[in-house]
Amino acid sequence: QVQLQESGPGLVKPSETLSLTCAVSGYSISSGYYWGWIRQPPGKGLEWIGSIYHSGSTYYNPSLKSRVTISVDTSKNQFSLKLSSVTAADTAVYYCARLRDYGDYYFDYWGQGTLVTVSS
């Protein structure tokens, strides 16, 4: 069973960089698939942030692209998110998920999510 677990600070100051890591178990990232980050502001809908292939190839949401970096560490079987210059608008629950890419692209396994609050 594939499992994903997000980790990182729950509180980030405005203008700083948000950093999260997603640890994957039950599946080797090196075996394939894309891996992604999605966020959900309190009381709002889902927003895709970006995705990365095990080789390091990335796709980013154009609205966030200038501030986002997603990287992968196959030796640790994990991938990471960095979002720079955060503001209160970046306060959200952040999910990591596996993006299945056989045929079409959809998320079949999700982490439980982690709340990140941007506040001084």
Residues that bind another protein (CB under 8 A): 36, 38, 45-48, 51, 59, 61-62, 95, 99-100, 103-108, 110-113
**What is the C-alpha separation between 62 and 50, in angstroms, rounded?**
9
Contacts for 41 with CB less than 8 Å, ≥ 6 apart: 47, 89, 91, 92
Q: How far is the CB of 112 from another protein (least distance, A)?
A: 6
Q: Which is nearer to another protein, 16 or 40 (CB)?
A: 40
Q: Which is nearer to another protein, 16 or 61 (CB)?
A: 61
Q: How far is the CB of 99 from another protein (least distance, A)?
A: 7
Q: Which is nearer to another protein, 14 or 26 (CB)?
A: 26
Contacts for 84 with CB less than 8 Å, ≥ 6 apart: 17, 18, 67, 68, 69
What tokens appear for 33 in the block? 């698939």
Q: How far is the CB of 73 from another protein (least distance, A)?
A: 22
Amino acid at 100: R
